[in-house]
Copies of this chain bind each other. A is one copy, B any other.
Amino acid sequence: MLLDPRRVLILKDVIEATSISGAARVLGWTQPAVTHHIGALERSVGMPLLLRRSTGVTPTQAGKALLAHADAIASHLAAAEAELEEMRLCRSGTVRVAAFPSALATLIPHAMTRIHKDSGLHIRLTEAEPDEAMKLLHDDDVDVAIVFSYADTQLTDISESFDRLTIAMDPVALLLPPTHPLAHKQDLHLTDLADDAWVAGCPRCREHLVSMAHRAGFEPRIDHETDDYVVVQSLVSQGLAVSVLPMVALAAYRNEDVVVRDAPELTGRRIDALFRPGADRVPSIAAVLGALTNDAV
């Protein structure tokens, strides 16, 4: 026996209408169409589900038993439809986002207030550096990974398997101690700091620093290493080193005892939202991506 669920639902309509032709009217069909479906259903179960009178039909015991299940199925379908409609309109749903710390402190809060204003979406945040964020994305632990990348430093191969939406370009600035002799020099260049001690960030940021220095023509002496942008500024403010930090990190936290300068040799980083291919067609994820891109810092 193999029940066709559509016919089970038609049976429900028929029993509720107490007649085949009544159900046909409800369904906007002709009577023979419904008769045919009921007949096929009865053939598949091997016994009558309805007793026919010229005044209409009454269900047999089997018909009543099937009706009970039909009711349950109908309400599951209705519930599913309602639930999906809520999701489609972003009145419910959860989007899981992984982001690196300074983005979490700046981009994300702005986007979230926007999202909460015009949707009922629930956002789950996870702090993760780009590599880890991509792993989370790959493992379906997260729907959106906010990552950064430097033009001269490729992201891991894995990033190629995702779709990408660029959220912002994040310029990088020089950090000098206020006591540094060149702190306020006009027309500052990177080479002016070729002999200074440097503090570098995460491996990728360190690589970027080295790469910029090479292009400027020197090998930076990296004495300290930390990916904590508060620590970086603290070290610089104490006069222990110079450094570079992206503006987003500076927007997240700014130590007033640090001098922030620009230099022509500095290249910035790009902040991307990564997502599984096609995920941007999911309304909730699209809403998050939209809120992120309209929200330049």
Contact = CB atoms under 8 A, between A and B. Distances in A.
Nearest to A42: B281
Contacts of A9: 5
B69 A79 contact: yes
Nearest to A283: B47
A83 interface: yes
Copy number in this complex? 2
A73 interface: yes
Nearest to A61: B93
Nearest to A77: B3
B278 A3 contact: no
A77 B73 contact: yes
A280 to B, nearest CB: 10
Interface string A63-97: 00110010011001101110111011000011000
Interface stretch (A48-56, A238-246, A259-267): A48-56
A16 interface: no
Report the contact-size class of chain A (Cβ under 8 Å from the partner): 35 or more
Contacts of A102: none
A4 B3 contact: no
A98 B8 CA distance: 31
A76 B69 CA distance: 6
A279 interface: yes
A37 to B, nearest CB: 13
